[in-house]
Amino acid sequence: MNDEFNMSMRKFLKQVGVTSQQAIEEAMRHADGAAGKTYTAKVVLSIEGLDLEHTVTGQITGPQNG
């Protein structure tokens, strides 16, 4: 793959990572009883014009109080 492709893909993935982390942190701050609770998270990536749908699932544990 060429450099332009790699740079555009990395830029997109960085944006996804940063904005997703911000959204999760904001949701945790506003959730009652989130401390120490484990949540199932799912991300679905699709690209219009390509036959791509990629799903990633995982666990996120709320921050401990204190």
Tell me, yes or no, whether 66 lies in a domain: no
Say what the pTM is.
0.83
Please write the tens of the pLDDT for every residue from 47-65: 999 999 999 999 999 988 7
Rounded to whole angstroms, how far apart are CA atoms 59 and 56? 10
Is 26 inside any structural domain?
yes
pLDDT at 41: 97
Task: Please indicate, yes or no, if residue 29 is contained in any of the structural domains.
Answer: yes
Residues 39 and 35: their CA atoms lie apart, in Å, by: 11
Residue range of the domain that includes 48: 3-61
| Domain annotation covers residue 57 | yes
Based on the structure, what is the number of domains in the chain? 1
Q: What is the average pLDDT across 3-14?
A: 97
H or E stretch covering 21: helix 3-30
Q: Work out the angle at residue 45's Cα, subtended by the Cα atoms of residues 42 and 49, and round it to the nearest 5 degrees.
A: 160
With beta carbons less than 8 A apart as the criterion, state whether 53 and 46 touch: yes
